[in-house]
Amino acid sequence: MSAYLPPLRDMEFVLRDLAGLAEIAALPGYEEASSELVSSVLEEAGHIAEEVLAPLNQTGDRQGARLQDGKVLTADGWAAAYKTLVDGTWIGLSADPEYGGMGLPGLVSAAVNEMWQAANMAFSLCPMLTQGALNAISECGSPEQKALFLPKLISGEWAGTMNLTEASAGSDLGAIRTKAVRSGEHYLISGQKIFITYGDQDLTENIIHLVLARTPDAPAGVKGISLFLVPKFLVNADGSLGAHNDVHCVSLEHKLGIHASPTAVLSFGDQGGSIGYLVGQENRGLEYMFVMMNHARLNVGLQGLAIAERSYQQAVGYARERIQGKPLGGNDRTGIIDHPDVRRMLMTMKAQIEAMRALAYVAAAALDKAHATADEEGRAAALKFAELLNPVVKGWCTEIGNEVASLGVQIHGGMGYIEETGACQHLRDARITTIYEGTTGIQANDLVNRKIMRDKGASAQAAIATVDALAVQLGKESDPTLKAIGQQLAVGADNARTAVAWVVASAAEDPRLPAAAAVPLLYLMGTVLGGHQLARSAQIARQRLDAGEGDPAFWDAKMKTALHFALCLMPKASSYLAHITEGSRTVMALSAEQF
């Protein structure tokens, strides 16, 4: 497996020029996020990614996590790598300084997470989930729970997990059977959860499980779910650890990828009841858990980007070194990077990666604005935009991440199918990203039912109007590249506008129609919104070239990459529109017996 080199130049361009780092740093609470500080943070995080995490990726995949004598053991080197994060207080990068966090914007944390996920996705799932638990407790926990749990989670001495899924309740959380019975000031939890990422490990002295369960008199369905904090080791009032709680890892899943990430089956209450503490109010657990889930969904979208970047870097390196035949028009045998079809694949990978990065960072910036903007109207507008982007980033970026990782294997040819090169590990690791934290279908239904239908498409149409405005602007440019990008962007915006209107109107005719159109709509929105960000980058690149600022090769590549996306990938929006408005009627055409 090739080395990983953090793409800091492109990341900093997106942070500053597309996601608006200066605007975020001007918000209350984020004043310390100066350009200089952020550059320093990214550089050091990049060193950790490149020198500490990346070298463990392939060895961790081969060794995996293992359950031995009731204890989960992580791969060799994992504990030392985790200590590096703890020593640098990295896990609390965007956490509240009142409890020991750095208080930096989530936008900066997103960039750091991209690098760490690219370097070693299996390892980075642990701090990622802890950060999600931090968000949930910070927003929904009591003052006492915050004081007791947040400092140790922020320091990394303790880790956090998310416990939703049960054998009989996958995405249908209303079918959860785990029980919570009040016993004095706490509850006794009993039941079993599956697919718990880092449900047990040997990296931290304690694990705080966030567990969905149902009280005896709870209403049926999702309205009767409550959220509980269940420590692996009980925590005394002074923060010291007490006895082992009645929660145990009974098995680890054998998975297609991310082998070094322990995916546990956890059993609660086998010996009388696992002690848990109610978060907030009873029967509001799903609402609270969505704080953690939405954080995880954005970060899984970043995983799609990260694994694509890692696969792309490896494919470029291999294409430079692999000598195979003579390229068309050439006399000498050179690297396959000179073959047009390899260039086609590399350009497709590069263009989609840059679109994903920009869209994900813009989404992270919107969340920062929703959290810290001073006026209520500004916060509400930013939140609507962030919520609209969340399922798109999660769903589209992970699907494209799988596509890019597959192209990486293809560029390697037969060697890509051999484990020793490492190319197929990226594809295996990427496959889970479209499944966990809600499948692409669940993200698409969220986009349609919760984000578009709630305001009859107004938020989506507002976002599309911004795309259209840039398309009109670019259409007036004298530069032929910008003009061509603007023309294709206008077509994409029109397709998106028509699709959103159709979905809203079709719901009244047959609710199955927007459901059948949901995934193509998500793909369409990802393509158009991602292409919009690349069009913005091309416009900025033209301005920098005209002003003679920076590296002209970098800006030239920006323009050519954006043009490739516009000419070769944006046209997919038209086919998605046809799938939505016409093909949706064929989805349910056959009876179940006809399959």
As a whole number, mean pLDDT of residues 513-525 equals 97
Q: Are the C-beta atoms of residues 464 and 500 closer than 8 Å to each other?
A: yes
Is residue 519 a part of any domain in this protein? yes
Query: What is the chain's Cα-based Rg?
Result: 24
189 and 257 fall within a common domain: yes
- pLDDT tens digit sequence for 425-441: 999 999 999 999 999 99
What is the pLDDT confidence band of residue 327, given thresholds at 50, 70 and 90?
Answer: low
Task: Select from 284, 308, 329 the last residue of a domain.
Answer: 284
In this prediction, residue 292 has a pLDDT band, given cuts at 50, 70 and 90, of: confident
Residue 70: inside a domain:
yes
The pLDDT value recorded for residue 334 is 80
Structure confidence at residue 329 (pLDDT):
65
What CATH number corresponds to the domain at position 475? 1.20.120
Same-domain status, 140 and 211? no
Distance (Å) of CA 289 to CA 36, 87, 202, 230, 519: 35, 29, 25, 14, 24
Question: Do residues 198 and 268 both lie within one domain?
Answer: yes
Between CA 319 and CA 169 the distance in angstroms is 45
Closest CA to 160 of 132, 194, 188: 132
**461 and 569 part of one domain:** yes
Which tokens hold the place of 86?
């703890």
CATH for 215: 2.40.110.20
pLDDT at 325: 72
Beta strands in 293-423 (DSSP E): none
The answer to whether 485 and 566 are in contact (CB under 8 A) is yes
Q: What is the pTM of this model?
A: 0.97
User: Would you call 44 a catalytic residue per the annotation?
Assistant: no
Same domain, 272 and 203: yes
Would you state the pLDDT for residue 270?
94
Q: Which domain holds residue 98?
A: 8-155
Q: Does 428 map to a domain?
A: no
Least confident of 164-178, 268-282, 442-456, 521-535: 164-178
- Residue 114 backbone zone (phi > 0: left; psi -120 to 50: alpha; other: beta): alpha
pLDDT of residue 331: 63
Give me the CATH number covering residue 122: 1.10.540.10
Q: Quick one: pLDDT band at residue 326, thresholds 50, 70, 90?
A: confident
Q: Are residues 27 and 150 in the same domain?
A: yes
Question: Is residue 95 within 8 Å of residue 154, measured between CB atoms?
Answer: yes
Catalytic residue chosen out of the listed positions 114, 354, 399, 437: 437
Residue 302 lies in a domain: no
Band (523; pLDDT cuts 50, 70, 90): very high
On whether both 567 and 454 belong to a single domain, the answer is yes
Residue 2 lies in a domain: no
Residue 366: pLDDT over 90: yes
Distance CA 80, CA 203 (A): 9
Partners of 72 in beta bridges: 67
* pLDDT tens-digit readout, 270-281: 998 899 999 999
Q: pLDDT tens for residues 186-196?
A: 999 999 999 99
Instruction: Check if the beta carbon of residue 176 is closer than 8 Å to that of residue 214.
Output: yes
List, for residues 406-430, the tens digit of each pLDDT value. Answer: 999 999 999 999 999 999 999 999 9
List pLDDT tens digits, range 74-120: 999 999 999 999 999 999 999 999 999 999 999 999 999 999 999 99
Residue 363 domain-assigned?
no
Rounded percentage of the chain residues whose pLDDT exceeds 90 = 94
Within-domain flag for 475: yes
- Determine what percent of the chain falls in helix, strand and coil, rounding each to the nearest 5: 65, 10, 25
Average pLDDT over residues 333-348: 92
Same-domain pairing of 276 and 210: yes
Indicate whether 81 and 127 sit together in one domain.
yes
Q: Mean pLDDT over all residues of the chain?
A: 96
Residues in CB range of 311: below 8 A, 6 or more apart: 349, 404, 405, 407, 408, 423, 426, 427, 430
Q: What is residue 236's predicted lDDT score, i.e. its pLDDT?
A: 96
Choosing from 284, 317, 349, the residue where a domain stops is: 284
Same domain, 145 and 184: no
181 shares a domain with 143: no
Residue 129 and residue 180 in one domain: no
Which residue's structure tokens are 């718990």?
196
Q: In this structure, what token pair is assigned to residue 595?
A: 């399959």
Domain end position, chosen among 155, 179, 210 = 155
Q: Give the separation between CA 407 and CA 173, rounded to whole angstroms.
A: 35
Q: How many structural domains compose the chain?
A: 3
What integer is the mean pLDDT of 386-390? 97
Domain assignment of residue 555, yes or no: yes
